[in-house]
Amino acid sequence: MVLLAVTACSDGLTVSDAYIRGLPPGQTVTAAFMTLNNGSNQECRLVGAASPIASSAEIHAHTHHNGTMSMRPVEGVALPAGEAVSFEPGGYHLMLFGLQNSLSDGEEYKVTLFFEGCPEVVVTMPVRSVLREEES
């Protein structure tokens, strides 16, 4: 197995394939995606995130309701021991609010992830533009 980028490691919890969606000028909200691999032998629970580029961050889940896609904040995401959980378009994601500047391809920003049961992890996430609309 080849991981494109292992960007953080702490007590068995690793984050791979993390990126922040590029932000066009004038927008102040974006999303971040990643895969969380809980290689430890205890459950961790993602309960929050923060980044210096955002005034606040939330964990969101997408839900289908009557054929329409909507997203809602969730209080936490359980990461069972030994399992990987993907945050990807159409599923779980981190929302970043209150961005001051546009985000361009090639830039990298730190995002801190807060857990219950595991120490916090600081991830350096590259910016990746998404050319097509999010799949629903």
Q: Which of 7, 60, 113, 125 binds Cu ion (CB under 5 A)?
A: 60
Residue with Cβ nearer Cu ion (15 or 96): 96
- Smallest distance, Cu ion to C-beta of residue 119, A: 25
Rounded distance between C-alpha atoms, residue 92 and residue 86, angstroms: 7
How many chain residues bind Cu ion (CB under 5 A)? 3
Residue with Cβ nearer Cu ion (1 or 73): 73
Confirm or reject binding of residue 21 to Cu ion (CB under 5 A). no
CB contact set of 38 (below 8 Å; sequence gap of 6+): 12, 13, 44, 79, 80, 81, 82, 83, 84, 85, 118
CA 88 to chain centre: 8
The binding track of 66-95 with respect to Cu ion, each residue x by CB under 5 A or -, is -----x-----------------------x
Residues that bind Cu ion (CB under 5 A): 60, 71, 95
